[in-house]
Amino acid sequence: MSNHIFWLSSYPKSGNTLMRLILSALFFSKDGLVNLDLIKYISNYESTRNLNFIKDKNYDDFTQLNKLEILSKYYLNSQSKQNLGLNEDFGFFKTHSANLKIFNNNFTVENNVRGLIYIIRDPRDIIISWSNYANVSIKESIKFITNRNSCINWHNSENSFLDKKIIPQVFLSKWDTHVISWIDKFEKKPKLILKYEDIIEKKKEIILKIINFFESNYKIKFINIENKLNNIIETTTIHNLKKEEINKSSEKNLLNPFFRKGKSKQWKNILTNEQSEIICEKFKKVMEMFDYI
């Protein structure tokens, strides 16, 4: 293992895609103009193409990757440079997985990790966003975020050898468990914890913080920063991202758009007092840690 993965991690609906676009514009564009095509530069680790190697390694397991007990056996092997298709010194990889040991298998280990950005969002707003995105009720969304066994599907890649009926699961667990699983690990590695609310409301300050993080820890020198900064801010407004999504989406995707409001504290107008109190009680410690309550 060679410290080759820079993780971009978050619970679902916490701003991971927006951060992928910002990082892609900083690292992989000349002018900082954001478009959805840039997202390809920061790969989704939970893409089924990353599991193709298992077919030759153990075909029986390959046909049972819908079981976490089987899938978790291959977490670390799937993170090798070869199986990630990584030719560079290190690469960015987005994940929604909790950084936990399940069935005695670690999701990742320090020797794999070059660094980490973790994005945290008020869980009450995640409930609203997940409800709309997954087309479930607020009640079901609350159940999802408070369930220690919550999972979502891996992305089914076009160049995957995996049968489409076999759907691997991303293990999330509860919101607070997910947060702690990442922020309390890898103390010797460069780590930046960002709040979704700050990314939305203090975008310039956050981008400058990101730039300083990479310059200080990796001696990376960015060029054309002033122009890039202004363009990133202008082209990552929710209005522009929704417009970009409409231009590039199929009719099916438009029925369930990814970019919706891009605002904080939506929960105040949607959740009942009882629903808000349930979340604050269950997640009190972590919510206080990040000044959500």
pLDDT tens figures, 78-105: 999 999 999 888 899 999 999 999 999 9
pLDDT value of position 247: 59
pLDDT value of position 194: 98
In terms of Cα–Cα distance, which of 117, 123, 121, 114 is closest to 193?
A: 117
What domains, with CATH codes, occur in the chain?
5-121+154-260 (3.40.50.300)
Helix (H) or strand (E) holding 180: helix 175-183
d(CA 180, CA 98): 9
Q: Is 0.75 surpassed by the pTM of this model?
A: yes
Amino acid (one-letter) located at 207: I
Does residue 135 register a pLDDT over 70? yes
